[in-house]
């Protein structure tokens, strides 16, 4: 790439961040709710992108971890604990459960793994619904308080949106660091060729479990933010379709691309809202859009960009080659 | 234990329907590596097509024929040509996601163009009970069982006894070699899609009188068929049949003896156990590892 590309990227990134901070100031309550939801779902999808996109382990249970985090936060904050403590517990709990769910991945792969995680997802939903002494059953938990930060109440939509955005920023930085660390490289080695990774001395067992545990922990973070966002939770949002939706976000955005979950969550959360003027047709149009996109580019939105850039690079390289060749020929 | 007998019959009847759907599911997987997450919606839709045909004045028998034909065109031909063909070479996952989107699309289309409410659906078997071994058994259960058994029997005969069936199996097991020895692989794949569409339309005809026609009824059914296919063996038609019957019976027994709250958990736990201890399914062949 040429020299000005990097500053350009940084400038673009800063502009997007500034836009996310400034523009919503004029949004109404509902707009802020949708945007907060986007931030929360992006966090969950980033977790799944780690498990699936980077480490290559299919999971249909991310929605269950969002549920675990949401219930942990709801139960704790309604009993007077502060939200940060609830988030810590949500992380620890989803990490531990995710670690255990990783064990089947040591034995079975691909679609079989998808089925095991799918079954887990349904089991988690049944526990949310039936253990009413803990989760309130079908009536759910209402009156989930929003936190006070530095003396500022976040009951209004805008401050809470900034909390979601801030959490997204922290998670993004952590994931950015993680995929550039030796861990991230080990995850990718696991995805590309597990046998080779093992023969290179990577402890595939440990990294497979870690890929599940860390990805699930991010699902837990998303859930712990979701509960105070909606201030009321019941089992329905955490059924299998949330897991499927999150998987769709990751694939549509581009699995294994850092920015994939951001775009995927945008499509899944915002596109239906934009299509709402079509009334009853909006989910239908959304489904058609997703299918059309996947037919066009099975590697997702960022796959299109990636192919485009690869083509440009090859073109540039072959132009350079042609120049070098002609120089060689004239020199002879 | 007259209760147990009733539960078994009811379980076998639902199980037989699951089996039909699961068989179609495994056929698609075998010939084109399609994990069809919309299979449940595929069962839901034909009933509405038949209802629509009756709405414009067709008699019930004509509506059934029209419904099955339309299903084969929409859920067989169009599904394959518009969605599966362009995506097949890109691997299992994107196609699976696309079928999830298709499931949403079908559900919403039915909700929008037909109704969000459950509609009654006429039964092809007369209602009433007959006495079997001193037990009253509903004609509905027996009718469902008979039709499902006939369909499965017809399909296995087609697959195992005819040249066409052998060609289909060859196309599924090793497309390259099948092509070399002159099997029209593409046509065989299309045929499995048409058979799947026929099976789901049949299942729709059998199950809708029991559970009513509703846009969301595919979710539960699709999942049950999905589990049945995996439990029985993802790569075996007879595995899917056994899996379907087993899940149907298990589901009914769990509702009676475990708890209605956790009845859905029993097939799930069973599924996890099967995958962990016998991933190829109860009757399946072990798949070779690709890596």
Q: How confident is the model at residue A153 (pLDDT cuts 50, 70, 90)?
A: confident
Task: Say whether A287 and B91 touch across the interface (CB within 8 A).
Answer: no
The mean pLDDT of B57-73, rounded to a whole number, is 93
pTM across the whole model? 0.86
A281 touches chain B (CB under 8 A): yes
Number of domains in chain B: 1
As a whole number, the mean pLDDT across chain A is: 88
Whether residue B276 and residue A107 make contact (CB cut-off 8 A), yes or no, is yes
A12: Cα within 13 Å, side-chain hemisphere = 6
Q: Which residue of B has its CA nearest to A58?
A: B93
Residue B291 has pLDDT above 50, yes or no: no
Residue of B98 and B277 predicted with greater confidence: B98
pLDDT tens for residues A176-217?
999 999 888 888 888 888 888 888 888 888 888 998 999 999
Mean of pLDDT values over A112-118: 84
Specify the DSSP class assigned to residue A280.
G
What lies within 8 Å, CB to CB, of A20 at 6+ separation is A165
Give residue A26's pLDDT.
Answer: 83
Query: What are φ and ψ of residue B261, in 5° steps?
Result: -65, -40
| Stretch 93-112 of chain B: residues touching chain A, C-beta under 8 Å | 93-98, 100-102, 104-105, 108-109, 111-112
What is the domain partition of chain A in residue ranges? 5-296
Inform me whether the pLDDT recorded for B252 exceeds 90.
no
Round the average pLDDT of chain B to a whole number and report it. Answer: 87
A244 CB neighbours in chain B (<8 A) are 37, 100
- B176 at interface of A, judged by CB pairs closer than 8 A: no
Whether chain A has a CB inside 8 Å of the CB on B262: the answer is yes
The Cα-based distances of A263 to A41, B28, B228 in angstroms read 11, 31, 35
- For CA atoms A119, A283, B221, B239, give the dihedral sign: negative
* Residue B122 in contact with partner chain A when CB distance is under 8 A: no
Long-range contacts, stretch B8-12, CB < 8 angstroms, 24+ apart: B8/B249, B8/B252, B9/B135, B9/B137, B9/B141, B10/B141, B10/B252, B11/B245, B11/B248, B11/B249, B11/B250, B11/B251, B11/B252, B11/B253, B12/B141, B12/B145, B12/B245, B12/B248, B12/B249
A158 exposure class (CB count in 10 Å sphere: 0-12, 13-18, 19+): middle
pLDDT digits (tens, 9 = 90+) for A17-43: 888 888 888 888 888 999 999 999 999
Do the Cβ atoms of B261 and A126 come within 8 Å? yes
Predicted local confidence at residue B288, as pLDDT:
46
Strand partners, B213: B119
Contact of B178 with B185, CB cutoff 8 Å = yes
CA dist., res. B240 & res. B234, Å (int): 7
Which of B101, B268, B269 is nearest residue A248 as measured by Cβ atoms? B101
What pLDDT does residue A44 have?
A: 96
Structure confidence at residue A314 as a pLDDT band (50, 70, 90): confident
Q: What does CATH list as the number for A5-296?
A: 1.10.3470
What does the pLDDT read at residue A112? 78
**A163 to chain B, closest Cα gap in Å:** 32
Q: Whole-angstrom Cα distance, residue A127 to residue A117?
A: 15
Residue B243 in this model has a pLDDT that exceeds 70: yes
Give the tens place of pLDDT for each residue, A223-261. 999 999 999 999 999 988 899 899 989 999 999 899 999
**Residue B77 above 70 pLDDT?**
yes
Containing structural domain, residue B13: 2-277
Please check whether residue B242 lies inside any domain of the structure: yes
Q: A191 to chain B: nearest residue by CA?
A: B291
Q: Which residues of A touch B86 (CB under 8 A)?
A: 295
A39-64 residue pLDDT tens:
999 999 999 999 998 988 888 999 99
Distance from C-alpha of B265 to C-alpha of A3, rounded to nearest angstrom: 58
Task: Give the residue-averaged pLDDT of B84-101.
Answer: 88
Q: Does A7 touch chain B (CB under 8 A)?
A: no
Residue B52 lies in a domain: yes
The answer, for A199 touching chain B at a CB cutoff of 8 Å, is no
pLDDT tens digits, residue range A271-303? Answer: 888 888 877 788 888 889 889 988 998 888 898
User: What is the domain-level CATH number for residue B67?
Assistant: 1.10.3470
pLDDT band at A3 (very low <50, low <70, confident <90, very high): low
- Least confident among B2-11, B89-98, B165-174: B2-11
> Does the pLDDT at position B238 exceed 90?
no
A50, with CB counted inside 10 A (0-12, 13-18, 19+), is buried
| pLDDT at residue A328 greater than cutoff 80 | no
**C-beta atoms of A115 and B271 within 8 A:** yes
Terminal-residue alpha carbon distance, chain A: 31
User: How many CB contacts within 8 angstroms connect chain A with chain B?
Assistant: 109
**pLDDT attached to residue A1:** 45
Q: What percent of chain B has pLDDT over 90?
A: 38
Residue B180 lies in a domain: yes
């Amino acid at each position: 790439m040429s020299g000005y590309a990097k500053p350009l990227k940084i400038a673009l990134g800063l502009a997007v961040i500034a836009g996310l901070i400034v523009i919503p100031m004029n949004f109404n309550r509902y707009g802020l709710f949708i945007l907060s939801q986007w931030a929360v779902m992006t966090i969950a999808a980033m977790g799944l992108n780690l498990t699936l996109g980077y480490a290559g382990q299919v999971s249909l249970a991310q929605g269950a971890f969002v549920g675990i985090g949401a219930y942990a936060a709801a139960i704790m904050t309604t009993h007077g604990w502060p939200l940060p403590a609830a988030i810590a517990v949500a992380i620890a709990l989803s990490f531990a459960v995710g670690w255990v769910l990783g064990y089947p991945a040591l034995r079975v792969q691909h679609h079989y793994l998808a089925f095991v995680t799918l079954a887990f997802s349904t089991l988690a939903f049944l526990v949310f619904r039936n253990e009413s002494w803990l989760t309130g059953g079908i009536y759910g938990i209402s009156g989930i308080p929003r936190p006070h930060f530095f003396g500022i109440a976040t009951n209004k939509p805008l401050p809470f949106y900034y909390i979601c955005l801030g959490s997204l920023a922290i998670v993004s930085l952590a994931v950015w660091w993680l995929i550039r660390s030796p861990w991230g490289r080990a995850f990718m080695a696991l995805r590309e060729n597990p046998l080779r990774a093992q023969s290179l001395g990577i402890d595939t067992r440990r990294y497979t479990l870690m890929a599940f545990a860390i990805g699930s922990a991010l699902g837990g973070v998303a859930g712990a933010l979701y509960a105070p966002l909606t201030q009321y939770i019941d089992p329905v949002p955490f059924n299998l379709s949330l897991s499927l939706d999150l998987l769709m976000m990751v694939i549509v955005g581009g699995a294994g691309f850092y920015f994939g979950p951001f775009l995927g969550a945008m499509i899944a959360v915002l596109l239906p809202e934009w299509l709402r003027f079509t009334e009853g047709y909006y989910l239908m149009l959304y489904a058609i859009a997703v299918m059309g996109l996947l037919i066009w580019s099975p590697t997702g939105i960022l796959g299109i960009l990636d192919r485009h850039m690869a083509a440009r690079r090859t073109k540039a390289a072959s132009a350079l080659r042609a120049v070098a060749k002609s120089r060689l020929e004239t020199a002879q | 234990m007259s209760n147990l007998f009733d539960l078994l019959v009811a379980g076998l009847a639902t199980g037989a329907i699951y089996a039909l759907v699961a068989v179609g599911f495994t056929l698609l997987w075998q010939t084109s590596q399609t994990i069809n997450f919309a299979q449940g919606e595929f069962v839901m839709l034909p009933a509405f097509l038949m209802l629509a045909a009756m709405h414009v004045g067709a008699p019930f028998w004509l509506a059934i024929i029209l419904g099955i034909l339309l299903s084969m065109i929409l859920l067989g031909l169009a599904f394959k040509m518009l969605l599966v063909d362009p995506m097949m070479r890109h691997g299992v996952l994107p196609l699976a996601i696309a079928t999830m989107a298709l499931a949403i699309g079908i559900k919403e289309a039915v909700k929008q163009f037909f109704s969000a409410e459950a509609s009654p659906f006429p039964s092809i078997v007369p209602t009433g009970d007959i006495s079997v071994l001193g037990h009253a058994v509903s004609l509905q259960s027996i009718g469902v069982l008979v039709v499902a058994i006939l369909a499965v029997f017809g399909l296995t005969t087609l697959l195992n006894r005819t040249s066409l069936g052998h060609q289909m199996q060859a196309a599924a097991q090793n497309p390259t070699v099948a092509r070399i020895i002159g099997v029209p692989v593409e046509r065989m794949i299309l045929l499995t899609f048409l058979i799947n569409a026929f099976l789901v339309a049949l299942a729709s005809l059998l199950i809708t009188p029991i559970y009513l026609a509703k846009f969301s009824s595919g979710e539960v059914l699709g999942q049950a068929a999905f589990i049945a296919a995996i439990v029985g063996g993802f790569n075996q038609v007879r595995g899917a049949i056994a899996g379907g019957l087993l899940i149907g019976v298990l589901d009914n027994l769990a509702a009676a003896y475990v708890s209605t709250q956790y009845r859905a958990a029993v097939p799930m736990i069973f599924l996890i156990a099967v995958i962990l201890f016998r991933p190829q399914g109860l009757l399946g062949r072990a798949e070779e590892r690709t890596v």
